[in-house]
């Protein structure tokens, strides 16, 4: 099973990146996991590019999604919405369709995060990915739930993250051929 992880924060000390790295340590054997870390290097989305001249990093990004059995997105909220870099990355997949029927887990870890969480659910629905409610989690007040060593310190948050991961892995397993 191959999982791709996307982080909506470019901050070196990002709590969202810490969550994605923590999840990596919980995965069962046999699950390949890659965090795509070039989201900030993707060019601005421009729909006038046709198939032949799409920038190389976009081609790589699309291929990583296409080859993944599932994608975990973990993001903060900025100014009541999705971070521009994440929205830009998702826009690059709108016409090429890599998220079509792809199992996706959505984790929003932010000060509040309600708007970005709701917005990301709508966007992934429009991109026709599969996002079961049990594979989504909003973590508000994230900075009070993680320490300076990037460890999640809130037991309830750890439990909820385990549940989301469990649900997500089961959802992917149900779609994989035996």
Least separation in angstroms between CB 84 and ligand FMN? 11
Q: How far is the C-alpha of 139 from the C-alpha of 18, rounded, in Å?
A: 13
State both tokens at 2. Answer: 């191959």
Least separation in angstroms between CB 7 and ligand FMN? 7
Nearer to ligand FMN, 111 or 151 (CB): 111
Nearer to ligand FMN, 60 or 143 (CB): 143
Least separation in angstroms between CB 109 and ligand FMN? 6
Q: How far is the C-alpha of 23 from the C-alpha of 72, rounded, in Å?
A: 10
First to last CA, the chain: 12
Nearer to ligand FMN, 93 or 110 (CB): 110
Nearer to ligand FMN, 96 or 112 (CB): 112
Residue at shortest CB range from ligand FMN: 76
Nearer to ligand FMN, 70 or 76 (CB): 76
Least separation in angstroms between CB 164 and ligand FMN? 17
Sites of contact with ligand FMN (CB under 6 A): 9, 11, 14-16, 76-80, 110-113, 142-143
Q: How far is the C-alpha of 112 from the C-alpha of 117, rounded, in Å?
A: 10
Q: How far is the C-alpha of 171 from the C-alpha of 2, rounded, in Å?
A: 13
Least separation in angstroms between CB 72 and ligand FMN? 14
For the CA atoms of 122, 125, 127, 132, the dihedral, rounded to the nearest 10 degrees, stands at 130
Helices (H), 8-154: 15-26, 56-67, 84-91, 114-126
């Amino acid at each position: 099973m191959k999982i791709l992880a996307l982080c909506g924060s470019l901050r070196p000390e990002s709590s969202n990146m810490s969550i994605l790295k923590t999840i990596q340590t919980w995965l069962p054997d046999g699950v390949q996991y890659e965090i795509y870390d070039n989201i900030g290097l993707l060019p601005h989305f421009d729909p006038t590019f046709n198939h032949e001249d799409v920038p190389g990093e976009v081609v790589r990004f699309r291929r990583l999604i296409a080859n993944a059995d599932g994608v975990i997105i973990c993001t903060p909220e900025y100014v009541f919405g999705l971070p521009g870099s994440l929205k830009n990355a998702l826009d690059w997949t709108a016409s090429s369709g890599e998220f079509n029927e792809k199992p996706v887990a959505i984790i929003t870890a932010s000060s509040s995060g309600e708007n970005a969480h709701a917005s990301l659910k709508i966007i992934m629905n429009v991109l026709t990915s599969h996002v079961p409610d049990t594979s989504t989690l909003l973590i508000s007040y994230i900075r009070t739930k993680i320490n300076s060593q990037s460890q999640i310190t809130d037991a309830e948050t750890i439990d909820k993250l385990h549940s989301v991961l469990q649900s997500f892995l089961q959802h992917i397993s149900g779609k994989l051929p035996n």
